[in-house]
Amino acid sequence: MSQDVTQTIPSAPGPSKLLTASYTHHSPTPTGNGPYILGVDEAGRGPVLGPLVYGVAYCPVSYKEQLDELGFADSKTLTPEIRSSLLETLQSDPSNLGWSVRVICPQDISSGMLKRPPINLNQQSQNATVSLIKDVLDKGIQLTEVYVDALGTTSKYEAYLSSKFPGIQFTVESKADNTYKIVGAASVAAKVTRDACLEGWTFEEEGYKAPDIELGSGYPSDPKTQAWLKCCLDPTFGFPKVVRFSWTTVKVLLEKEGHEVKWIDDGQASLRKAFESAQGLDKDRCVLTKELGIRNLTSL
């Protein structure tokens, strides 16, 4: 995808704009008569670089036959040129076709996964899906059928979504983007947005000069991505924020190539020194610890 193409993607930040926080983009609300069907899919769960993007697409039930003729499919099976063309198709009939994306930035992905307790990727994905469906409903769209590309155990996730949105029939299936055209449309919206975000990425780190090599696909197994990660690693400061620092690939690189950091708690060190004598005889302890009956840090 060229820089010229990334400028035409309304759901991406655009050239020279920073992606520092997660956000949601909505198309204009369709005006076609309901009820509506909606599809959900994502792009970027596995990569170590860039955002995770969840997309939804929706249209009137009466529009399904026309939708089937538009060419939507699993975005991974399509060329970048066809995906971009299909996003234009998705925008070409605003009275019947609507779409939204939730862009989860790398910092939020990693921060969630490293929290205690962690918000794992499945939970973050569920939150994005629920948020997008709720947004569509809040627009006054009457949803009767929702099709979701599988996330974990299909029956469990289907029951969860049904409990969140009673009155809507949910279908959660593996490879739903191949089976249901509305999920294929959501897949295209998510994939084109993610590609534009990653390929048009602007580094916010002051003075940082990105390596003059390709990012690659962002997947840890991609040799181009592996080379980029090794090249951009600063042994003191680590990686720029386009990198998901909670990924095992990154942790291993930092352990191997980064400078070791020793965290020293001055207060704790002082306490240890003050109570070292508590390990010996009573006469070696200070008056206060003797009076309080404190023999070690644990009792303190």
Q: Whole-angstrom Cα distance, residue 213 to residue 228?
A: 7
Dihedral sign, CA of 142, 147, 150, 156? positive
**Cα 222 from Cα 214, distance rounded (Å):** 11
Of all helices (H) and strands (E), which one includes residue 197?
helix 181-199
DSSP string, 139-192: TT--EEEEEEE--SSHHHHHHHHHHHSTTSEEEEETTHHHH-HHHHHHHHHHHH
Q: Which two tokens stand for residue 11?
A: 């759901």
149 is in an annotated binding site: yes
User: In terms of C-beta density within 10 A (0-12 exposed, 13-18 middle, 19 or more buried), how is residue 24 classed?
Assistant: middle
**57 contacts 39 by C-beta, under 8 angstroms:** yes
| Euclidean distance between CA atoms 152 and 35, whole angstroms | 28
- Annotated binding-site residue? 234: no
**Is 42 annotated in some ligand binding site?**
yes
* Interatomic CA distance for residues 1 and 272, integer angstroms: 59
CA–CA gap between residue 256 and residue 238 (Å, rounded): 12
Which residues, other chains included, contact 146 with Cβ-Cβ below 8 Å and sequence gap of 6+? Answer: 37, 38, 39, 40, 133, 161, 165, 168, 169, 170, 171
Provide the Cα torsion 200, 224, 105, 253; round to 10°. -140
Residues forming the annotated binding site?
Answer: 41-42, 149
| Binding-site residues for a divalent metal cation | 41-42, 149
